[in-house]
Amino acid sequence: MTNDTTTLNLEPRLKAIIEQEYPRFSDAEYARRHKLLAGVMDKAGVDHLLVVTDHRTGNATQWVTAWPGTVEAYTVFKPGVKMTMFMEWYNHFPLGKKIARDVDVQWGEHRGIQKTIGELKHRGAKRVGIMGPLAASKYRQLEQHFEMVGLDAEYIRCRTIKSEEEIDWLRIGAAFSDAGFAALLAGTRPGLTERELGNIVERAYVGHGGTTMIHYIGVTSMQNPHIFVPPQHHSPRRVQQGDVVFCELSAFWWDYAGQVLRSFTVAADPTPLYRDLHATAEAAFDAVTRVVRHGTTMEEIIEAASVIEKNGFTVCDDLMHGFGGGYFQPILGTRSRPAGPLPNMTLEENMTVVVQPNVITRDQKAGVQVGELIRVTRDGFERLHQTERGFFRVG
């Protein structure tokens, strides 16, 4: 395939972001983030903040510095002082220095937490906030020298409301995810394995700079279904005439992914059961998005989704979840399949959420996927995806 970004149907400003060597947000955007962190620190009463990526887990490093973190990265942050980062591995060091913005990047020498402790001592740190995951043994080392304050919940709050620049990056992730679905729809045919379908999806965006977050793809007979939710790992099962394919696809643009969920049949029209499942899922998506706006309560969303139960079905996957930098609240199920206690919150302008009614039969034998990532606006919602909706057929 070509690397021509015109195939992604992106606006010129979004194409320009992709065409950068290593894209960064604007200085104003990083200043906004650092101001948020300063406010968190002030409220928590900490004198320094440690931002962590450990064993390839934790995206706060990228949000604060632009460096994705790769293996390990420990960044010491204090408002008005240049950040210091200790990172691994040495062959990652040159690129880390190039990408990290306004950071004194140093090689961790495979003892990064000890070097971080030394830096914090040098700065006179006493009470240190921490954002990101850290192995217990390393955390205990920090506790021997400083009063540690966990600030992960505050970090999530910082990520929940998106800036305009962040939403643009999510548009790119959505375009990559859409491209993955378009390729899957065009390329699916009897005889291909689920593994080959996953490969088709990835080929649609990797050449443009995208990476895979997930591609969950369910393939089953409509007459004798054996799964009701797309599995997280592909099997060697081959596509057959009369199958239904239902999927959940998310491709990253750096730390910003879209999420598109669709269903289609293979060389056959939907059976009455699958037609009803899909029609209910579409009705639920429309009902939920109809109430989405700044100030929407959790109870309003649950009530809107009650069309699922009224039609005799339920769900497996979450009905709604926050998305964009993580899997955030509100995480909601339905009345027949709750996702725990309802969060004490309302939707806010510039939250980005996925609405994804995975409508299934109550006996958990058959299901479909419908939905996508949207942006909450003052008076409603904005689609970030361009994939058409509908129950598609291939062959």
Structural domain spans, the chain: 27-160, 164-394
pLDDT of 387? 98
pLDDT of 4? 58
Summarised one tens digit per residue, pLDDT across range 218-229 is 999 999 999 999
Q: Look at the alpha carbons of 306, 280, 326, 382 in this order and tell me if their dihedral is positive or negative.
A: negative
pLDDT of 148? 98
Instruction: Please give the Cα distance from 271 to 268 (Å, whole number).
Output: 9
282 and 388 in contact (C-beta within 8 Å)? no
Copy the structure tokens of residue 39: 């406010």
3-class state of residue 145 by DSSP: coil
Copy the structure tokens of residue 215: 């591609």
Report domain 27-160's class.
Answer: alpha beta
pLDDT of 5? 60
pLDDT of 2? 44
Beta strands in the chain (DSSP E): 48-54, 72-78, 81-88, 103-107, 127-131, 147-150, 211-221, 243-253, 256-257, 260-266, 314-315, 320-323, 327-332, 352-355, 359-360, 371-376, 381-383, 391-394
Amino acid in the structure at residue 146: F
Alpha helices in 239-349 (DSSP H): 272-291, 298-304, 307-310
pLDDT of 9? 84
Prediction pTM value: 0.96
367 and 277 in contact (C-beta within 8 Å)? yes
Mean pLDDT per block of 10 residues along the chain (395 residues) reads 65 96 96 98 98 95 96 97 97 97 97 98 98 96 98 97 98 98 98 98 97 98 98 97 98 97 98 98 98 98 98 98 97 97 97 98 98 98 98 97
Copy the structure tokens of residue 251: 């491709």
368 and 343 in contact (C-beta within 8 Å)? no
3-class state of residue 196 by DSSP: helix
Q: Return the number of other C-beta atoms located less than 10 Å from residue 13's C-beta.
A: 9
Summarised one tens digit per residue, pLDDT across range 259-273 is 999 999 999 999 999
Pick the CATH number of 164-394 from 3.50.50.60, 3.90.230.10, 3.40.50.300, 3.40.190.10: 3.90.230.10
Mode of pairing for the β-strands spanning 127-131 and 381-383: unpaired
Amino acid in the structure at residue 52: V
Q: Which of 260, 267, 216 is nearest to 244 (CA)?
A: 267
Instruction: Please give the Cα distance from 201 to 16 (Å, whole number).
Output: 24
